[in-house]
Amino acid sequence: MTKPKQTPETPQAPNYQYDAIIIGTGPGGEGAAMNLSKSQKRVAVIERQRAVGGGCVHWGTIPSKALRHSVSRLIEYKANPLYRFTEKPQRHTFQDILNHASAVISKQSNLRSSFYDRNRIHLYQGDASFVDAHTIKVQHEDGSQELLTAHTIVIATGSRPYRPPEVDFSHPRVYDSDTILSLKHNPQRVIIYGAGVIGCEYASIFKGLGAKVDLINTRDRLLAFMDAEISDALSYHFWNSGIVIRHNEEFSKVEGSEEGVILHLQSGKRVKADCILFANGRTGNTNDLNLAAVGLKADGRGQLKVNENYQTELDNVYAVGDVIGYPSLASAAFDQGRIAADAIVQGNSADKLIIDIPAGIYTIPEMSSVGKTEQELTAAKIPYEVGRAQFKHLARAQITGTEVGSLKLLFHAETKELLGVHCFGERASEIVHIGQAIMEQKGPGNNVEYFVNTTFNYPTMAEAYRVAALNGLNRLCD
């Protein structure tokens, strides 16, 4: 067929190298890149590090969870009665357990790299910055530069630990949640400043390795976004294991020496340790993108505003993952990237991020939740009932020696609709998904009686749902 002649009324579309360029190869960037490629789009991704995976694979989710797993198994070994009369293992160091984490990081990065190859996505290594709305400059390690053009740009640059300017992070005893992975000495006492998710997870890790831990919390309770009963269980477990929690404290300065650090608190207290892990907040990685070139501006935390399709104020520029803030979860970031890709291809996406996003906190033991907390239901004046199952009563927990913890179900007192699931204990982040699957059912499928009327394998931790459901239903007033 003969092509129609171009006229001033039918201008030629710009000849871009790519349909889309994604900046960053973390979960958000990966989700966008893969979905766009499967929609037959020409896709390029730019990664500043030498290996793909972003902070999730190299500094955040994967390393800390691999470290946590190794320490958790060590704790179980020490507590197992089969080994009580044999020679006790020597104390493991942070470097010992890092070996396992390094192997997992390598496997994950290689796997994710194969995804880009398989989907014919062009990968560029270097620092990306905007030249204009359709042009990205890639600054390579060797000093060379190249310009890439695309119709659409997706910013998926993630976040980094917040570093207060008055703290000297170049000091060899001062770390953030990225640099802690390069810890070379074996600390006997550790200060963790910030009792959020990252701070609590590393408090578990260092305590499990035998270190004394001071956990400095700038708020009045741990993980206040969780159900109060569950976060209180973690607080008690920390206290019982010897972790010192200092609530409502702010630092005034960090004094470093060759032997360690002294943390000066605004309350007048001084805390001494071999090192400090500063884990109080994160900042979006937008400062090197030259956003001013396209008229975009990040907020004070380096984050970008987006609409429901993850589109920024610039029509052809999208942003996903930690760089847009809440919920700042790897699992959600991947979905955000996938949804943004649908919006790019179709002009709008019918898919949306689910409302009840599960939270998994990999302390020792784990915490996990999905749906409403008791505090939220009470404030909303929703009549609800509570069903509980103590892990110490489950045969599977007794067999595996993981009896610490419980499952808590919140359901509507009249309709019996499941409203919230909260779990504390080993494998909590896995167990919670059974309840999530029921909560996502609309209509009569979402009913706590499902757990009574179904048959669970025995013995399993999943059986906790039947026990908790019966416990809660027995509380209902006739």
Q: Is 285 left (phi over 0), alpha (psi -120 to 50) or beta?
A: beta
How many angstroms separate the Cα of 351 from the Cα of each of 103, 332, 339, 354, 448?
Answer: 35, 13, 6, 9, 27
The Cβ of residue 174 has, within 10 Å, a number of other Cβ atoms equal to 19
How many angstroms separate the CA atoms of 419 and 368, rounded? 15
Query: Do the domain assignments include residue 230?
Result: yes
**Per-position pLDDT tens, the chain of length 478:** 333 333 334 334 579 999 999 999 999 999 999 999 999 999 999 999 989 999 898 888 898 999 999 898 888 877 777 665 555 556 677 887 887 788 899 999 999 999 999 999 999 999 999 999 999 999 999 999 999 999 999 999 999 999 999 999 999 999 999 999 989 888 999 999 999 999 999 999 999 999 999 999 999 999 999 999 999 999 999 999 999 999 999 999 999 998 899 999 999 999 999 999 999 999 999 999 999 999 999 999 999 999 999 999 999 999 999 999 999 999 999 999 999 999 999 998 989 999 999 999 999 999 999 999 999 999 999 999 999 999 999 999 999 889 999 999 999 999 999 999 999 999 999 999 999 999 999 888 899 999 999 999 999 999 999 999 999 999 997 6
Query: Do the domain assignments include residue 253?
Result: yes
pLDDT at residue 13, rounded to an integer = 52
How many angstroms separate the CA atoms of 453 and 450, rounded? 5
Sign of the CA dihedral running 225, 323, 38, 311? positive
Which residues lie below 8 Å from residue 112, measured CB to CB, with a gap of 6+? 25, 30, 52, 53, 57
Residues 390 and 335 in one domain: no
Closest CA to 120 of 46, 52, 44: 44
Q: Are 217 and 195 in contact (CB under 8 A)?
A: yes
Residue ranges for the known binding site are 47-56, 65, 157-159, 194-201, 281, 322
Residue ranges for the known binding site for FAD are 47-56, 65, 157-159, 322
Residues 138 and 243 in one domain: no
Query: How many structural domains does the chain have?
Result: 3
Radius of gyration of the CA atoms of the chain, in A: 25
- Tokens at 16, concatenated: 């871009």
Provide the pairing of β-strand 135-139 with 127-132: antiparallel
Which of 237, 262, 280 finishes a domain? 280
Q: Phi first, then psi: what are they for 34, rounded to 5°?
A: -65, -40
The Cβ of residue 146 has, within 10 Å, a number of other Cβ atoms equal to 11
Closest CA to 284 of 71, 100, 28, 36: 28
Q: Are 36 and 344 in contact (CB under 8 A)?
A: yes
Query: Do the domain assignments include residue 353?
Result: no
Query: Do the domain assignments include residue 1?
Result: no
DSSP codes joined into one string, 343-380: HHHHSS-S----SS--EEE-SSS-EEEEE--HHHHHHT
Query: Do the domain assignments include residue 356?
Result: no
**Residues, the chain:** 478
How many angstroms separate the CA atoms of 189 and 206, rounded? 9
HSE-up (13 A, CA, CB side) for residue 241:
26
Residues 22 and 155 in one domain: yes
Fill in the amino acid letter for 54.
G
pLDDT at residue 3, rounded to an integer = 36
Provide the pairing of β-strand 212-216 with 189-193: parallel
Query: Do the domain assignments include residue 68?
Result: yes
Residues 79 and 106 in one domain: yes
Residues 267 and 292 in one domain: no
How many angstroms separate the CA atoms of 287 and 284, rounded? 8
Closest CA to 178 of 86, 74, 60, 72: 60
The distance in angstroms from the start CA to the end CA of the chain is: 76
Q: Phi first, then psi: what are they for 259, rounded to 5°?
A: -90, -25
Residues 25 and 154 in one domain: yes
Sign of the CA dihedral running 119, 121, 126, 131? negative
Domain range for 100 is: 18-161+283-346
Which of 263, 280, 297 finishes a domain? 280
Which of 228, 245, 280 finishes a domain? 280
Q: In which residue are the tokens 């000849």 written?
A: 15
3-state secondary structure of 91: coil
| Cis before 444? omega within 30 | no
Residues 369 and 436 in one domain: yes
Residues 288 and 272 in one domain: no
Beta strands in 204-290, from DSSP E residues, in sequence order = 212-216, 244-246, 251-256, 261-265, 270-273, 275-278, 282-284
Q: Are 466 and 474 in contact (CB under 8 A)?
A: no
pLDDT at residue 7, rounded to an integer = 35
How many angstroms separate the CA atoms of 338 and 317, rounded? 15
How many angstroms separate the CA atoms of 116 and 326, rounded? 27
Residues pairing with 1 in the sheet? none
Residues 291 and 275 in one domain: no
CATH label of the domain that carries residue 150: 3.50.50.60
Residues 23 and 137 in one domain: yes
CATH label of the domain that carries residue 457: 3.30.390.30
pLDDT at residue 6, rounded to an integer = 37
Q: Phi first, then psi: what are they for 114, rounded to 5°?
A: -65, -30
Residues pairing with 357 in the sheet? none
Residues pairing with 389 in the sheet? 407
Which residues lie below 8 Å from residue 147, measured CB to CB, with a gap of 6+? 131, 135, 136, 137, 138
pLDDT at residue 79, rounded to an integer = 75
Query: Do the domain assignments include residue 10?
Result: no
Residue ranges for the known binding site for NAD(+) are 194-201, 281
Residues 266 and 301 in one domain: no
Query: Do the domain assignments include residue 371?
Result: yes
Q: Phi first, then psi: what are they for 153, rounded to 5°?
A: -120, 135
Residues 178 and 133 in one domain: no
